[in-house]
Amino acid sequence: MINIGFGPNILLGFILVAGVMLLYLLRIVKPELARDEDIFFTTIGLLYSCILIVHGWRLDPILLFSQVLIITSLLVAGWENIRLRGLLTNAAKIKNNKEI
């Protein structure tokens, strides 16, 4: 039996789905920033968000708060990682232009 109750776990799960799908769509939009291991992290994130959506109704408030903190730190670290990938790519392009 699957019991999906609408609550903050649904919102948290969909925020995580949106975040990891942006990581996957990075491969289409800016392929120079994408890495091969992004598919692995996208798959793990989708699995984690599905578990949170389906079984999140069982979380008591302190466990839900810990999930909020984990997902927030995960999304912030992912954003920073992608931003640093862009900076490294731009630095490599500038270095290659100076060498020519």
In a domain, 71, yes or no: yes
- pTM for this predicted structure: 0.82
In order of 32, 41, 66, the CA distances from 36 in angstroms are 11, 10, 29
In a domain, 13, yes or no: yes
Domain that holds residue 45: 8-99
Four-CA torsion 70, 72, 76, 79, nearest 10 degrees: 100
Per residue of the chain (100 residues), what is the pLDDT tens digit?
A: 677 778 899 999 999 999 999 999 999 999 888 888 999 999 999 999 999 998 888 888 999 999 999 999 999 999 999 999 999 999 988 888 887 6
In a domain, 68, yes or no: yes
In a domain, 3, yes or no: no
**Count of domains in the chain?**
1
pLDDT of residue 100: 66
In a domain, 2, yes or no: no
In a domain, 63, yes or no: yes
In a domain, 67, yes or no: yes
State the number of CA atoms in the 13 A half-sphere of 4 facing the CB.
Answer: 8
